[in-house]
């Protein structure tokens, strides 16, 4: 992927430093991809300084590191220990601190946050052979877990950023969670699908 093209609308100084610190991820860790960059695009409209942020399914840590480098107090979670180790190594290279928690979505996370992020595994399929990308039969198993627990993980006036694909019928999904209002912060057409980043707030 052409990283400069993918990050065209972003603050390249931070992104370049983070990509450099991440280096080449191990094969099991999801590498920064189009969906990660769309999340970064949405995140770049958020003033980070002083926020508490939970980056769920952090992978290489790209999203959480982007928040932390701008002054947010960041917790990163993943079901994959290797991903947390990769994130911690990158944080160390950047000279920043993030708190890692090995967790199934929010299951082992205590506390409430100003902002919770999730770029979930969303590919539909009968089998989950790669937990970084496979999201169960309709692709929404992890997204539903996130949406179910999000209200109890947010501070008052907190919000969530969630990536959805047209493969997951985003309008239908969100209509099933009436406790949230939502705004589409960023969209991108890639190959056979459209990606969207939703900003979710409790009504
Ligand atoms: C599509 S990748 C996104 C990685 C990174 N946030 C990014 O944007 O590049 C999804 C991540 O969710 C993690 N994951 C999968 N199942 C999970 C679960 N049950 N709880 C927490 N994280 C999970 C995967 O290990 C993977 O790192």
Instruction: Quote the ligand 1 centre to 89 CA distance (angstroms).
Output: 17
Low-confidence ranges of the chain (pLDDT < 70): 1-11
Strand partners, 102: 78
d(C-alpha 28, C-alpha 16), whole Å: 22
The CB-side HSE value for 176 (13 A sphere, CA atoms) comes to 10
Check pocket membership of 87 for ligand 1, CB cut-off 6 A.
no
Instruction: Quote the ligand 1 centre to 13 CA distance (angstroms).
Output: 25
Check pocket membership of 30 for ligand 1, CB cut-off 6 A.
yes
Tokens of 133: 């990308």
pLDDT computed for residue 36 by the predictor: 98
Check pocket membership of 134 for ligand 1, CB cut-off 6 A.
no
What is the pTM for the complete model shown?
Answer: 0.95
Ligand 1 pocket test: pick from 6, 59, 75, 102 the residue with the most ligand atoms within 8 Å of its Cβ.
59
Check pocket membership of 160 for ligand 1, CB cut-off 6 A.
no
d(C-alpha 86, C-alpha 123), whole Å: 23
């Amino acid at each position: 992927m052409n990283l400069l093209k993918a990050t065209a609308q972003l603050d390249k100084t931070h992104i370049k430093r983070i990509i450099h610190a991440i280096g080449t991820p191990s094969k099991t860790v999801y590498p920064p991809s189009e969906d990660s960059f769309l999340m970064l695009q949405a995140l770049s409209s958020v003033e980070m300084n002083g926020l508490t942020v939970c980056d769920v399914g952090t992978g290489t840590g790209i999203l959480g590191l982007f928040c932390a480098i701008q002054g947010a107090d960041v917790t990163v979670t993943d079901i994959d220990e290797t991903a947390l180790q990769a994130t911690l190594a990158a944080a160390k290279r950047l000279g920043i601190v993030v708190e890692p928690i090995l967790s199934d979505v929010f299951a082992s996370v205590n506390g409430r946050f100003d902002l919770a992020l999730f770029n979930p595994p969303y590919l539909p399929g009968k089998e989950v052979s790669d937990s970084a990308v496979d999201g169960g039969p309709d692709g929404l198993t992890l997204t539903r877990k996130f949406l179910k627990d999000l209200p109890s993980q947010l501070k008052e006036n907190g919000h969530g950023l969630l990536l959805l694909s047209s493969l997951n019928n985003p309008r239908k999904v969100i209509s099933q969670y009436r406790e949230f209002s939502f705004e589409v912060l960023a969209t991108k057409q890639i190959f056979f699908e459209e990606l969207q980043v939703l900003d979710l707030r409790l009504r």
